[in-house]
Chain A
Amino acid sequence: MTKPAMQLTDLNKTIGKKQIIKDLSFSIYPGEVFGFLGPNGAGKTTTIRMMVGLMKITSGEVLIQGKSIRTNFKEAIKEVGAIVENPEMYPFMSGWKNLVHYARMIPGISEDRIKEVIRLVGLEKVIKEKVGRYSLGMRQRLGIAQALLHNPSILILDEPTNGLDPSGIKEIRHYIRKLAEEENVAVIVSSHLLAEMELMCDRIGIIKNGELISINEVDEESDQQEMQEVHLVAEPLENAKEIIESEQDIEVRVDKDMLIFSVNRAQIPAIIKRLATEEVDIFYVQAHRTNLEDKFMALIGENAIE
């Protein structure tokens, strides 16, 4: 396997007496989008703050392209572009001046590069306006622009789609994929929304109460043998239930007007065909990957912010 772009080993953070992050270890590789998923208060932002040196590491290590953020901050941080929580900018300056401000802090960023980044995030029209007048989505884009100025090899985005409208989310997702695939950037995206993560990540690490619970691959072509949970709304419901149970010899749960059952992915088309030939009207079918969804729901289900 290739060398990791970023490597966390046994990361711990204690504030006061409270242990917020516990023995967190994982690696992120060039060209992949890594999702950092967890409910509110799980410790995503805290981990990111340690990754970029805003918070001291209680114990453990963060290596960025092999360089320690603790002992070699300047060299390590050069590789990183980031948004931590909200993309706060100077509201009394224009978007342009905000970018110039950050560009001045890193040697070798030309005016052309600033313009290029502005074009990339689609802010050309409003870049001379004061940031105070920007919408949340525009600020989010400006935040991404400042993170990309120096062509970082690692991009860390804490809830980048927060506050964006659906088309904005789609655009950012598209853009993140492109950066990973075409420029080989390692992208870390945090979120508490699984559906959103599944659409843009290659791997998803689930964190709760400061502990990493699991890391899962998100495959585009799912394994045909993988069990999936199917949600189905059909009429008449009882007929549909009997047909499926007889066909597959499985248990079907009824939840209001919906049938819920688990089957191999490969068998879903056959079930639908059968229902159709039996004159059952199908209004809605959705198949969930049980694996990740279950894990996450189990985690969110007992969600109590401690």
Chain B
Amino acid sequence: MSNFIRLIQNENMKLYSKKATWVMIGILAIIVLAVGLILRFMDDNNLKEYGDDWREELQVENASVQNDNGDYTEASYRVNIEKNKYHLENDIKPQSYGAMQFVYDNIGLAMLISLFTIIVAAGILANEFQWGTIKLLLIRPVTRLKILASKYVAVLIYALTLLVFLVVFSWIVGALLFGINGLNPSAVMYDINGYKQVSLLPEIIEGFGYRMVNLVMMATFAFMISAVFRNTSMAIGIAIFLMLAGNTIIPFVSQYSWAKYILFANTDLSQYQSGGHPLLDGMSLSFSISVLLVYYVIFIVASWLSFTKRDIAGQ
């Protein structure tokens, strides 16, 4: 076991010795900072603070955009009438914007983490072949399976590191720009059944959780391509192309019954959230999880077979 930990240590050392790895972390940091600054200084509506007379303020807002029954003014795009009504009807004071809200708003950046993880997963094996270092790596008293596993685990650790970084850095930037508004503030959010009040922390965990499913699947896919073709750019290219194009092809093939077996139809598990509508007929949460598991096992076995059974020959 200590043996395995040393292998992971090695993978991390190689990973963090490369500039590209730090560039990815830097890009993530810059984007979080930029989003925060734009929100703080360009868009004042989100950040509106309501006083003790918040009920009147909301009524005024709603009235201001809808004075001539149904005839919206140009201010309407900034005011969410339905949301305001929900606040008024349920007597919930709108919360002011704070660090946790900012973290929540940055869940979408998990897409970027997926992208970076794919790049790392695509390179971690194929690079060794392209650098020629694979020969020196495999003439040690360590089985190929262990080396493969240490690389895969290193990819997952990298993804987790980026995720933790995104959350913590977003929170810090949020705290500095908007202040801290409790650790688990509530918020009024929209889902398929209309508005409702929710706690932010579970929402954040859930949001990232759904995106992790997609991340792990795509990273494992890139890892497999990298093991099979031993070529970094090819693995990055195919995986990113499929990640971006995968979802868009579903509508075109949705009339076929096999469409629901496509990986990308199943990677977004949030489609089964309460009241949600599955992407295609015949799909359910357990169906999607089974499909994902089958794909996952195929990816892992393919990586394992092509890495452990094939010759390490010249290029």
Residues of A within 8 A of B (CB): 15, 45, 49, 52-56, 73-75, 77-78, 80, 82-93, 97, 100-102, 104-107, 146
Q: Which of A85, A93, A100 contacts B135 (CB under 8 A)?
A: A85
Q: Would you give 6 A-B contacts (Cβ < 8 Å), ordered by A?
A: A54-B311, A77-B139, A93-B14, A105-B6, A105-B142, A107-B3
Q: B138-157 CB contact bits vs A (8 Å, 1 = yes)?
A: 11111100000000000000
Known: A54-B311, A105-B7. A78 touches B13 (CB 8 A): no
- Say whether B13 contacts A101, CB under 8 Å: yes
Question: CB distance B311 to A77 under 8 Å?
Answer: no
- B154 CB to nearest chain A CB (Å): 13
Which residues of the other chain, A, contact B143 by a CB distance below 8 angstroms?
A: 73-74
State whether A92 touches B3 (Cβ < 8 A).
no
Verify A91–B138 contact, CB threshold 8 A: no
Q: Is the CB of B14 within 8 A of A101?
A: yes
Which residues of B are found within 8 Å of A85, using beta-carbon distances? 132, 135, 314
Within 8 A of A (CB), among B111-147: 131-133, 135-143
Are B139 and A53 in contact, with the CB atoms below 8 A?
A: yes
Using A77-B139, A102-B140, A105-B140 as known contacts, say yes or no to A55 and B313 having CB atoms under 8 A apart.
yes
From residue 265 to 315 of chain B, which have CB atoms closer than 8 A to chain A? 311-314
Given contacts A49-B312, A107-B3, contact A82 B139 (CB under 8 A): yes
Q: Establish whether residues A90 and B142, one from each chain, have CB atoms under 8 Å apart when the complex forms.
A: no
The answer for the CA separation of A278 and B138 in the assembled complex, in Å, is: 65
**Contact A78 to B141, CB < 8 A, known contacts A85-B314, A90-B131:** yes
Chain B residue numbers with a CB within 8 Å of A89 are: 133, 136
Asked if B254 lies at the interface with its beta carbon under 8 angstroms from chain A, I say no
Say if the beta carbon of B90 comes within 8 Å of chain A.
no
Please report whether the interface of chain A is mostly helix, strand, loop or mixed according to DSSP: loop
Beyond A49-B313, A54-B135, whether A106 also contacts B140 by CB under 8 A is yes
Once the chains bind, are A88 and B140 in contact (CB under 8 Å)?
no
**Across the two chains, which residue of chain A brings its CB closest to B5?**
A104
B153 to nearest A CB, angstroms?
A: 15
Which of these, B14, B131, B312, contacts A54 with CB under 8 Å?
B312
Shortest Cβ gap from A137 to chain B (Å): 18
Tell whether A56 pairs with B131 under 8 Å between CB atoms, given A73-B143, A97-B13.
no
Q: Number of A-B pairs whose CB atoms are under 8 Å?
A: 82
Q: Are B140 and A77 in contact (CB under 8 A)?
A: yes
Given contacts A54-B139, A55-B313, A89-B136, 7 further A-B contacts (CB under 8 A): A49-B311, A74-B141, A75-B141, A83-B136, A85-B314, A87-B136, A101-B13
Whether B136 and A146, one on each chain, are in contact in the complex, defined by CB atoms closer than 8 angstroms, is: yes
Q: How far is the CA of A19 from the CA of B257 in the complex (A)?
A: 49
B67 close to chain A: CB less than 8 A: no
Interface centre among B141, B311, B312 (most CB of A within 10 A): B141
The CA-CA distance from A54 to B143 in the complex, in Å, is 12
| Closest Cβ–Cβ distance, residue A131 to chain B (whole Å) | 10
Q: How far is the CB of A99 from chain B (nearest CB, A)?
A: 11
9 A-B pairs closest in CB distance: A88-B132, A105-B140, A54-B312, A104-B6, A55-B311, A74-B141, A84-B135, A52-B139, A78-B141
B213-252 vs A, CB cutoff 8 Å, 1 = contact: the mask equals 0000000000000000000000000000000000000000
Residues in B3-58 with C-beta less than 8 Å from chain A: 3, 6-7, 9-10, 13-14, 17-19
Establish whether residues A55 and B140, one from each chain, have CB atoms under 8 Å apart when the complex forms. no
Distance in angstroms from B146 CB to nearest chain A CB is 10
Given A85-B314, A88-B133, is A106 in contact with B17 using a C-beta cutoff of 8 Å?
no
CB-CB < 8 A to A106: which residues of B?
140-141
Give CA–CA (A85, B136) in the complex, Å. 10
User: In the complex, how many angstroms separate the beta carbon of A128 from the nearest chain B beta carbon?
Assistant: 13
CA distance A105 to B132 in the complex (A): 18
* Chain B residues in 8 Å Cβ range of A104: 6-7, 9-10
- Whether B13 and A93, one on each chain, are in contact in the complex, defined by CB atoms closer than 8 angstroms, is yes
Q: Which residues of A contact B6 (CB under 8 A)?
A: 104-105
User: Are B312 and A91 interface neighbours, CB within 8 A?
Assistant: no
Residues of B within 8 Å of A45, CB to CB, are 314
How long is the Cα–Cα vector from A256 to B167 in the complex, in angstroms?
82
Q: How far is the CA of A88 from the CA of B313 in the complex (A)?
A: 14
Cα distance A232–B6 in the bound complex, in angstroms: 61
